[in-house]
């Protein structure tokens, strides 16, 4: 008999969602009861390409400086609103051509009146800094990078704010004021998605598509092309790293899942030493980034299950909770409330106010 095809038995990637006319909206909801305070249509348009079937055409997160809200719809534009929902300005940065029509998803970084957008795609990639008040361009730098979905972060260790972007070719640190490349290092895999994690003068970068890589880099004072022997590279790790979800740093440890779930690892952030790597019963499929609060790590799954893990060198599950929904968006923690954006509902989760002190503890 004829030999089976090489990909026999492998799950096939589902086809992308085809582009069709969409309404791109921004909603403001009251934190206490979820009522809609205002709702604005930014644009109605047909995206230039399709998107991944597990994503949407509005995958980037809004960001705010407490006075303005910035909604980034990628190829459909960047929109700045007042706290009351008045459109202040908008910016068209062009059309993205993402790898395999996987769609767009990088969120802008915001720091001290500067909004930074990374635009890595299959065309001419670039990074651009905009004035948050007006949308005027402050600087722009070309990037020799294929599509990436990682969100830039601004790091302030060493006294000079840097924009750090993880990508396939190089992770780079840019001077926030000028756009000058201060340092760069190779090592990430294809399809870089996780957001870098900054703690003091160290940044942790990772990726996990067709390979595994995590690096701890002392970015403050780093200069030029870095390699494995450079003292700025504190440690590297090459097992069980995440594809989509970002790690979380809590109480001196980095927590992350393998690829998109299944194995949870905890590493000492200072040395890279493995504290544990264990299989989670549930959830076993994770797109949402891990979050932490009050000595707990929250791992939120696509099936509606959340595992609550105790922070520490030993693995301990404190609780496993389930909601009749699915979660791809990353949770947000504000004060003592955990917000979850599901496919059908938005949830605010917290313990009831105590009768004695009128205070809540972590959910």
- Closest by CA position to 280, among listed 248, 320, 244: 320
The residue extents of the domains of the chain are 1-105, 245-363
Q: Give me the average pLDDT of each 10-residue run along the chain (363 residues).
A: 42 73 96 96 91 86 96 97 98 94 93 98 97 98 96 94 97 98 97 97 97 97 94 97 97 96 95 97 95 97 96 97 96 95 95 58 55
Separation CA 351–CA 361 (nearest Å): 6
Q: Are strands 181-185 and 224-226 parallel, antiparallel or unpaired?
A: parallel
The closest alpha carbon to 247, from 297, 285, 212, 295, belongs to 297
pLDDT at position 17 is 78
**Residue-level pLDDT at 363:** 59
The CATH class of 245-363 is mainly beta
Structure tokens at 267: 């590493």
Residue reference for tokens 């994770």: 286
Could you give the dihedral angle defined by the CA atoms of residues 112, 147, 17 and 36, in that order, rounded to the nearest 10 degrees?
-10
Instruction: Check residue 354 and give its pLDDT.
Output: 55
pLDDT for res 16: 74
76 — phi, psi (to 5°)?
-95, 5
**Statement: 1-105 belongs to CATH 2.40.10.480:** yes
- Would you state the pLDDT for residue 356? 44
CA distances from 62 to 20, 25, 209 (A): 23, 11, 26
Q: Is 255 exposed, middle or buried (0-12, 13-18, 19+ CB in 10 A)?
A: buried
Predicted local confidence at residue 2, as pLDDT: 45
């Amino acid at each position: 008999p004829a030999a089976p095809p090489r990909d026999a038995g492998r799950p096939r990637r589902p086809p992308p969602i085809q582009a069709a006319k969409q309404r791109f909206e921004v909603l403001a909801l009251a934190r206490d009861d979820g009522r809609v305070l205002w709702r604005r249509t930014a644009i109605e348009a047909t995206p230039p390409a399709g998107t991944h079937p597990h994503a949407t055409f509005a995958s980037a997160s809004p960001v705010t400086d407490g006075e303005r809200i910035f909604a980034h719809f990628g190829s459909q534009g960047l929109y700045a609103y007042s706290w009351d929902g008045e459109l202040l300005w908008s910016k068209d940065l062009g059309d993205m051509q993402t790898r395999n029509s996987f769609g767009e998803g990088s969120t802008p970084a915001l720091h001290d009146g500067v909004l930074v957008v990374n635009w890595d795609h299959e065309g001419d990639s670039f990074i651009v800094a905009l004035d948050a008040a007006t949308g005027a361009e402050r600087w722009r730098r070309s990037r020799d990078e294929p599509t990436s979905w990682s969100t830039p972060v601004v790091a302030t260790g060493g006294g000079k704010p840097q924009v750090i972007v993880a990508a396939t070719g190089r992770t780079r640190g840019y001077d926030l004021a000028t756009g000058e490349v201060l340092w760069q290092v190779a090592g990430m895999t294809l399809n870089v998605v996780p957001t870098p994690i900054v703690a003091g003068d160290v940044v942790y970068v990772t990726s996990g598509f067709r390979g595994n890589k995590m690096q701890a880099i002392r970015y403050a004072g780093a200069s030029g092309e870095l390699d494995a022997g450079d003292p700025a590279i504190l440690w590297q790790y090459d097992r069980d790293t995440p594809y989509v979800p970002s790690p979380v740093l809590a109480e001196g440890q980095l927590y992350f899942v393998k690829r998109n779930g299944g194995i949870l690892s905890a590493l000492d952030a200072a040395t890279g030493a493995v504290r544990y790597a264990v299989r989670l019963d549930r959830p076993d499929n994770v797109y949402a980034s891990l979050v932490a609060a009050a000595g707990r790590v929250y791992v939120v799954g696509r099936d509606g299950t959340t595992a609550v893990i105790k922070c520490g060198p030993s693995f301990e599950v404190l609780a496993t909770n389930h909601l009749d929904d699915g979660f791809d968006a990353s949770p947000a923690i504000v004060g003592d409330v955990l917000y979850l954006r599901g496919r059908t509902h938005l949830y605010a989760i917290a313990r009831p106010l105590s009768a004695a002190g009128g205070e809540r503890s972590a959910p």
